[in-house]
């Protein structure tokens, strides 16, 4: 499987469980690995034949900057589902970290992998939880 990656996509978001964390934006760093068949693009040398990683990065940044989740787990899940759904991706691996969240640690965070089956389960749960 070919992969396209984006490392250390850095932005600011409201994220955290404490009152002070709900008042200020904190740094969030996202690493992505995305499944892609790059053979056609390698032959054509055309952006139209591959995933446009600039579009993906802008999309993720816009989403994260507007988000206000309490948990990094929740934010990571939403980013993964967003990428799978909006870009028709088959598989994504995502690492999301929050630098400085714990004293004496560089960062904390989560790493997850999601695929189309996970997206379908996510959609089903979302429908089941609607009032």
- Whether residue 10 lies in the annotated active site: no
Write out the residue range of the structural domain in which residue 101 sits. Answer: 2-128
- For residue 97, is pLDDT > 90? yes
For 77, phi then psi, to 5°, come to: -60, -45
Instruction: Render pLDDT for 50-83 as a digit per residue (tens, 0 to 9).
Output: 999 999 999 999 999 999 999 999 999 999 999 9
Residue from 3, 54, 98, 121 carrying the catalytic annotation: 98
- pTM listed for this prediction: 0.92
- For residue 131, is pLDDT > 70? no
For residue 93, the domain's CATH number is 3.30.1130.10
Could you give the CA distance from residue 39 to residue 57 in angstroms, rounded to a whole number? Answer: 22
Of 65, 70, 68, the closest CA to residue 30 belongs to 65
| Domain count across the chain | 1
């Amino acid at each position: 499987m070919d992969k396209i990656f984006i490392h250390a996509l850095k932005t600011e978001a409201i994220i955290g469980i404490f009152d002070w964390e709900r008042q200020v934006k904190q740094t969030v760093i996202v690493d992505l690995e995305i499944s892609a068949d790059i053979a056609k693009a390698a032959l054509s040398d055309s952006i139209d034949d591959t995933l446009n990683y600039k579009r993906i990065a802008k999309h993720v940044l816009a989403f994260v900057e507007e988000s206000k989740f309490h948990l990094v787990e929740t934010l990571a899940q939403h980013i993964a589902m967003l990428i799978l759904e909006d870009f028709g991706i088959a598989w994504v691996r995502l690492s999301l970290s929050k630098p400085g969240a714990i004293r004496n640690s560089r960062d904390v965070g989560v790493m997850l992998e999601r695929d189309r089956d996970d997206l379908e389960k996510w959609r089903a749960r979302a429908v089941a939880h609607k009032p």
